[in-house]
Amino acid sequence: MRFLFAILFSISLFLSCGREKPADIEARVVEARALVREFGGTLKPILVSHFKQDGPVAAIEVCSKSAPEIAQNISNKSGWDVKRVSHKPRNGQSGRADEWELGVLQRFIDARKAGADVDTLEHYEVLSMEDGSRTFRYMKPQKTLKLCTACHGTSIDPAVSAKLLERYPNDVARGFKEGDVRGAFSLKMRLN
Ligand code: HEC
């Protein structure tokens, strides 16, 4: 019996050694926040300037091209997997949230319903897989601004709507109101 306890104790010690210390997690959170700021801070000025100069129809092209490029560049240089996802995606491939992301998006939506400002929310977690691997995951919601409603709102200009449907025939990223959770930045980093 004592032997069994000794074994169990060693196993639990081994497992807890494999876990990250709070300071390591905090460091990941700081990194993730900075990458989100970089992503948003690169994409938004591009979107805004094209929107103002050339109008929303032309800005669709920019959004389609620039957003995935920026996500890829930031992923490549940082070693994180960085993307934008939604519970109502426009891009049915890269924009579709997985099961975990859908659960977190729902938390954000519930918090918003309860009166929270979407900009103050975030969520992170270390997920352990059956094969023993662990992944740090971070999500930060994206709030629907007035500008966003031109392409994601309830009454989209017919020319904009037609252009969107031409490129995204299964587009469901519509019907959002100012302040709503439009989607989220989602970041992953494997820890072992
Ligand atoms: C000019 C039109 C336009 C505007 C304005 C616009 N978007 Fe989008 N949005 C798009 C297009 C097009 C895509 C699909 C991009 C792709 O193929 O990766 C998209 C995709 C997204 C996605 C990725 C998930 C998905 O649905 O595929 C998020 C999140 C998003 N937009 C948030 C926003 C937010 C927040 C704003 C306002 C700050 C905004 N968008 C403004 C056109 C627009």
The reported pTM is 0.90
Helix, strand and coil content of the chain, in percent to the nearest 5, comes to 55, 15, 25
* Single-letter residue type at 142: Q
* Full pLDDT tens readout for the chain, 192 residues: 454 444 443 443 334 445 788 989 999 999 999 999 999 999 999 999 999 999 999 999 888 999 999 999 999 999 999 999 999 999 999 999 999 999 999 999 999 999 999 999 999 999 998 999 999 999 999 999 999 999 999 999 999 999 999 999 999 999 999 999 999 999 999 999
Q: Give dist(CA 121, CA 142) in Å, integer.
A: 9
Rounded to the nearest whole angstrom, what is the distance from the C-alpha of residue 63 to the centroid of ligand 1? Answer: 6
3-state class of 21 per DSSP? coil
> What's the mean per-residue pLDDT of the chain?
91
Task: Say if residue 131 is exposed, middle or buried (CB neighbours under 10 Å; 0-12, 13-18, 19+).
Answer: exposed
Question: Is 62 touching ligand 1 by the criterion CB < 6 Å?
Answer: no
Question: Could you tell me if the CB of 55 is within 6 A of ligand 1?
Answer: no
Answer yes or no: is the C-beta of 123 below 6 A from any ligand 1 atom: no
Q: Which strand (E) or helix (H) includes residue 169?
A: none
